[in-house]
Amino acid sequence: MEDKVYAKNSKTKVVVSGVRDFEVGANGDIYAIAKTIIQSSSTTPLNTWQEANGHRFKLFSSDSFSSIAINNNLPIYVDNTNKIIGYGRQCVRELTVAVDSSTWALNCEKDEAGNYELIKWDPSREQWYKVIGVSGVKIGAYNEISVVVLDSRGKIYFSSDSGSF
């Protein structure tokens, strides 16, 4: 099952394989970054909508992108230098978008414990802000106030409605 994206409710119907990272839009479209494919071919076209097992997907080159997130059904790409395309070209190690479109990331500044600082995108000012005192190696977000951070020691931190962890 490694490196494969399966059709909804299936353990056998593969939509696309050889995937490094992927996201699914609200409309069900799959955006995937190939693990090893760097050039388009007749058997594996890149940057083109394709269909498999009843699902639409678009495969992107691993030579161009390292990860992807979806905001308002539009992809946000991270290039191979870990810079977000758009969004101030911020260097990120991890990126997530919540259901309310709040966009969170871990920047590339590693601390002595091996964690990266949590940052949040401010769409009105079009800039990133550090969340002081919060760092980790993996993040998840439900909305503007519900964020989860996993640190390098395996400890999980949850934000609260008071804005603190």
Residue 69 and residue 107 share a domain: no
Biggest CA–CA distance in the chain, Å, is 53
Residue 59 and residue 18 share a domain: yes
Which residue type does 34 have? Answer: A
pLDDT value at residue 133: 92
Domain that holds residue 162: 81-165
Residue 165 and residue 85 share a domain: yes
Residue 85 and residue 65 share a domain: no
Residue 35 and residue 13 share a domain: yes
Q: Among residues 74, 107, 129, which one ends one of the domains? A: 74
Q: Among residues 20, 51, 74, which one ends one of the domains? A: 74
pLDDT value at residue 161: 60
**Within 13 A of 126's CA, how many CA atoms are on the CB side?**
4
Residue 130 and residue 150 share a domain: yes
pTM metric for this prediction: 0.84
Q: Among residues 15, 42, 74, which one ends one of the domains? A: 74
Residue 113 and residue 95 share a domain: yes
Residue 54 and residue 5 share a domain: yes
pLDDT value at residue 90: 96
DSSP state letter for 83? B
Number of compact structural domains in the chain: 2
Which residue stretches of the chain are H helix? none
Query: Which tokens hold the place of 119?
Result: 């940052």
- Residue 38 three-state SS: coil
Rg of the chain, C-alpha, whole Å = 17
pLDDT along the chain (165 residues), means of 10: 74 85 91 86 87 90 92 92 93 95 96 97 95 95 94 92 62
pLDDT value at residue 5: 85
pLDDT value at residue 162: 60
Residue 165 and residue 88 share a domain: yes
Residue 93 and residue 63 share a domain: no
Residue 135 and residue 90 share a domain: yes
